[in-house]
Structure 1
Amino acid sequence: MRGPFARALTGALGLVTAVAGVVAGAAPAAADSVVVGGSPAAITEAPWVVALSSRDRFGGTRAGQFCGGVVVAPTKVLTAAHCLGREVLGGQPWQLRDFSVIAGRASLRGQGGQEVRIADTWVNPDYDPTTNSGDLAVLTLAESLPESFVIKVAARGDAAENPGTAAEVYGWGDTSGNGSYASSLRSAHVQVLPDAACERAYPDGFGGVSYRKETMLCAGDPRGGRDACQGDSGGPLVARGVLVGLVSWGSGCGQAENPGVYTRVSTVLPERL
């Protein structure tokens, strides 16, 4: 079994092989075919999904995409804190001259949509790269996106977080767990799982990380085959029309015994952005 993976691309040629404090071999999470086990998704049905991009850092083949994000206000995008780490970016976010989000575009090599520069970044001060707890960052855009791109964030204790709730995870990441990356947006049907499922899969001491229900949410398919994967980090987990999680980490992709772990946005996101 592979060690815990933070689910983001790093460097121009490969995957993150270690997240600070996480065992070597850990890689960013990816969802089914977009996400593992997923299918093509129309951006018109999920306009709040964006791709984080830097062609200078990651090359132009995939328009510089390395993580996902989600629009929660016209100038605010949520993503995973580990997507902004030195291991991924090779430095500080402000050092990427072309750091931007690609919005309103399903195909990374397609036309349309907007590429909006990132003016500022905020990383959750409670983020712990050793445990992956609090894995959330906020990007402030230099220009506003349409209100129609915004998705509502689940409130603390929202029924959308209840185990058994149907959910969708979105991204442009590895579709197989073997490095087959999607060039167009994909989504996968999963469900919110009981905290106990991830507590069993990731007990204390598991490669230096463990599941913490206060700041994490467990989701996947009890039978396996559907999950987020490398390249999907920071992308949204949506249930009942609201944002409940951000792709954060996991072991492997689409394994029934190792569900995906998401940042529980309702408890980690500050009340005021």
Structure 2
Amino acid sequence: ILGGQVVPIGTKTYTVGIRTTANGESFCGGALIAPSYVISSAHCEWRDVEYVTVGSHYINGSEEGVPADGEQIKIEVHHEHRSSPWDFVVLKLERPSKFTPVKLPKHGDDKKGVWGTTMGWGVTSTPDGDYSLELKSVKLQV
């Protein structure tokens, strides 16, 4: 997350880490949009995804002792996901999360030029930056 700031622990619990194993590091992020549903980017490499952590602050989730909150059982990828605006995937969790989902915009709230916030554990500098171990956020203009 280039230019981002560390998110205070426990404040963005709708953030989701997507993993291939329960104890592995998150390789992609997402957001809890309903108790049993997560939205993420379709361009992530969807290989052997079996676990998500909801509410984790650290990329590996281990420092909080947060186990996988839900096990992914179904992935829906739009057939045109390689072209914008279809770069998203919806994951259905095996059981509902205890965390509150992110507040979604209402129809018509997508105004060009407004500032939004993105979060994750992405690269912190270029060209060869490291991935952040802690959840970070940055404001971007839509």
Q: Do both proteins adopt the same fold according to a TM-score greater than 0.5, normalized to the shorter chain?
A: yes
Structure 1 equivalent of residue 134 of structure 2: 184
Equivalences for residues 194-209 of structure 1 within 5 A: none
Q: TM-score w.r.t. structure 1 length?
A: 0.46
- Structure 1 residues 107 and 182, CA gap change in structure 2 (3 angstroms): same
User: Unaligned 5+ residue runs, structure 2?
Assistant: none
Per-residue displacement from partner, 1:99-141 (whole Å, max 9, x unpaired)?
A: 111112101242233412101111123x242x34311111000
2:2 and 2:138 in contact (8 A); partners too = yes
Q: Is 2:55 the counterpart of 1:104?
A: yes
2:19 and 2:26 in contact (8 A); partners too = yes
Distance in structure 1 (CA, Å) of the matches to 2:46 and 2:106: 31
Q: Secondary structure at the match of 1:82?
A: coil
Runs ≥4 residues deviating over 4 A = none
How many residues are paired up? Answer: 138
Higher gyration radius (CA)? 1
Q: Is 2:111 the counterpart of 1:168?
A: no
1:53 and 1:66 in contact (8 A); partners too = yes
Distance in structure 2 (CA, Å) of the matches to 1:186 and 1:173: 8
Q: Secondary structure at the match of 1:52?
A: strand
How far residue 43 of structure 1 moved from its aligned partner, in angstroms, is: 4.3
RMSD: 2.1
Give the helix-richer structure, 1 or 2: 1
Equivalences for residues 18-29 of structure 1 within 5 A: none
- Structure 1 residues 133 and 168, CA gap change in structure 2 (3 angstroms): closer
Structure 2 equivalent of residue 81 of structure 1: 42
> Could you tell me which amino acid in structure 1 is paired with residue 15 of structure 2?
V
- Structure 1 residues 73 and 114, CA gap change in structure 2 (3 angstroms): farther
